[in-house]
C-alpha cells in the first residue's frame, strides 16, 4: 500500500488524511504537539522534530509532505540526503517557510513586492516606520496555523507591546501598500508541469486574522487573469509540485502585487472541500504521487468560508452545534482542538450560493448561532 507521510499535524493534515483514506492510501503524521488533530484520521506519531525520531516515523513513506513551517531546514536536508522523498523538494519548502528568505528570492528574481525589512529590536521597527511611513505590518517570519502572525503598527506607541509579545520570534516588517483588496490564488502543479488553477478568491480580515474567504473575488476579468498568470508564473519559477497558495494585493488599473507564496494545502482554499469537484487536498495528493490531477470546476457559482475564531477562549464546549446546523446550507467543520486561547481557529464554515456576498452572509449567520462573537 502506498504510504504518505506528513510533518505537521494541524487541520491540513487531517484533511489530507481523509483524502488519502478515500483513495485507499496509508497516511502517517509526525508532530511534536499533543494537541494536533490529525490523529483522528491518521496514524499519528507524537515525537520531537529530531533526526532519529523523524527517520523512524517516515522512513517507510513513499512520499512526504511538510505542513509545519517551523521544521529546521537542516533536518529536512539530512533526511533527503538519506533518500526520503520530499515533494516539493526541501529547497522549495525551506525557501517558502521563511517570509524573509522568500521575499529576497522574489525581489532578486525581479518581481514587484512590498518593501520589507528584517527586524531584530523595537528600534528596527521604528526606523522602518520612519522610512516606509505608518502604518507598517509587523510579521512573524514563520507563519502560524491560526494566522495570528501579523500586527498593524499604526503609531509609535504600538511598537513596544507588539515586539514584547513576540520577543522570541524572528520578525520582519512590510511597508504599507495602497491596494484595493487582498486576493489569493490556489493552484496545483503536477511533476509533468500540468496545472489546475482554482478561482481567484477575496480575503477579509478582522483583528489581523483571516475572517472570511469569498469565491470568486469581486474583481473584473482582467484582474483575475493577471492574478492567475502571476500565480502560474511563480510556481513555474519554483518548479514546484503539489498545492500552492499565493496571496496578492489588487492595485489600480487591473494590476496585482505578490504578497506571499505558501507550499501545500492552505486554509484560504478550504472552500474547495465542498465548493469544487476535486478539493485542494485530494489534488495535492494526486500531484505528489504522480497521479492525474482532478477537475477544479466549481459546484456552485459562488462559495464562502467563514473562520470560527475563538475570541473568548471558550473552546469547542462553547459551540452550539444544533443552532449552527439549523442554518440552511452551512457546512460546519470543527477541528477538535483540545486546548484553546483567544484567537484560536476552532474550525470553519463553508457555504455555497449564487453570489459570493450572499454565501458569506449565510456563513456569518451560522457563526453567530454557533459561536457568538464580538465585532
pTM of this structure: 0.94
Same domain, 33 and 169: no
Contacts 24+ apart (CB under 8 A), 254-257: 254/220, 254/222, 254/223, 254/226, 255/223, 255/226, 256/183, 256/223, 256/226, 256/227, 256/230, 257/112, 257/113, 257/114, 257/177, 257/179
Q: Which pLDDT does position 207 carry in this prediction?
A: 83
CATH of the domain at 125: 3.30.1490.20
Asked if residue 188 belongs to a domain, the reply is yes
Q: Which pLDDT does position 375 carry in this prediction?
A: 47
Same domain, 224 and 207: yes
The domain boundary, picked from 70, 86, 102, lies at 86
Query: Helix axis angle, 99-108 relative to 90-97, nearest 10°?
Result: 100
Asked if residue 217 belongs to a domain, the reply is yes
Same domain, 212 and 253: yes
The residue whose grid cell reads 516515523 is 57
Q: Which pLDDT does position 318 carry in this prediction?
A: 77
Q: Which pLDDT does position 38 carry in this prediction?
A: 65
Asked if residue 108 belongs to a domain, the reply is no
Q: Which pLDDT does position 315 carry in this prediction?
A: 74
**Structural domain span for residue 238:** 181-370
**Average pLDDT per consecutive 10 residues, the chain (375 residues; last block may be shorter):** 91 92 94 73 83 94 93 94 95 94 95 93 89 92 82 92 88 90 97 96 91 96 96 94 96 92 96 97 98 96 93 77 89 86 88 96 93 59
Amino acid at each position: 500500500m502506498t504510504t504518505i507521510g506528513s510533518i505537521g499535524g494541524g487541520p491540513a493534515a487531517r484533511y489530507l488524511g481523509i483524502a488519502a483514506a478515500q483513495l485507499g492510501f496509508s497516511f502517517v503524521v509526525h508532530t511534536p504537539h499533543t494537541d494536533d488533530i490529525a490523529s483522528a484520521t491518521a496514524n499519528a506519531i507524537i515525537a520531537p522534530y529530531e533526526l532519529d525520531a523523524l527517520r523512524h516515523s517516515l522512513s517507510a513513506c513513499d512520499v512526504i509532505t511538510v505542513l509545519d513551517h517551523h521544521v529546521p531546514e537542516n533536518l529536512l536536508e539530512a533526511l533527503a540526503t538519506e533518500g526520503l522523498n520530499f515533494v516539493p523538494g526541501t529547497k522549495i519548502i525551506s525557501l517558502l517557510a521563511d517570509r524573509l528568505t522568500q521575499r529576497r528570492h522574489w525581489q532578486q528574481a525581479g518581481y514587484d513586492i512590498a518593501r520589507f525589512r528584517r527586524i531584530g529590536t523595537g528600534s528596527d521597527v521604528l526606523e522602518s516606520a520612519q522610512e516606509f511611513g505608518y502604518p507598517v505590518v509587523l510579521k512573524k517570519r514563520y507563519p502560524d496555523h491560526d494566522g495570528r502572525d501579523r500586527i498593524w503598527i499604526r503609531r509609535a506607541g504600538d511598537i513596544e507591546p507588539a515586539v514584547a509579545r513576540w520577543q522570541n520570534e524572528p520578525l520582519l516588517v512590510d511597508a504599507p501598500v495602497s491596494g484595493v483588496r487582498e486576493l489569493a490564488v490556489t493552484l496545483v502543479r503536477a511533476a509533468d508541469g500540468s496545472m489546475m488553477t482554482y478561482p481567484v478568491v477575496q480575503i477579509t480580515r478582522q483583528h489581523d486574522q483571516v475572517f472570511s474567504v469569498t469565491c470568486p473575488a469581486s474583481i473584473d476579468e482582467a484582474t483575475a487573469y493577471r492574478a492567475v498568470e502571476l500565480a502560474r508564473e511563480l510556481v513555474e519559477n519554483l518548479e514546484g509540485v503539489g498545492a500552492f497558495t499565493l496571496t496578492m494585493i489588487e492595485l489600480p488599473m487591473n494590476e496585482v502585487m505578490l504578497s506571499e507564496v505558501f507550499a501545500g494545502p492552505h486554509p484560504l482554499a478550504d472552500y474547495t472541500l465542498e465548493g469544487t469537484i476535486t478539493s485542494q487536498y485530494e489534488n495535492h495528493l494526486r500531484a505528489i504521487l504522480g497521479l492525474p490531477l482532478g477537475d477544479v470546476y466549481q459546484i456552485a457559482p459562488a462559495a464562502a468560508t467563514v473562520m470560527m475564531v475563538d475570541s473568548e477562549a471558550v473552546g469547542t464546549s462553547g459551540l452550539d452545534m444544533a443552532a449552527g446546523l439549523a442554518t440552511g446550507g452551512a457546512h460546519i467543520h470543527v477541528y477538535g482542538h483540545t486546548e484553546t486561547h483567544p484567537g484560536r481557529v476552532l474550525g470553519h464554515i463553508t457555504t455555497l450560493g449564487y453570489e459570493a456576498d450572499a454565501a458569506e452572509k449565510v456563513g456569518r449567520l451560522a457563526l453567530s448561532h454557533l459561536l457568538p462573537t464580538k465585532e
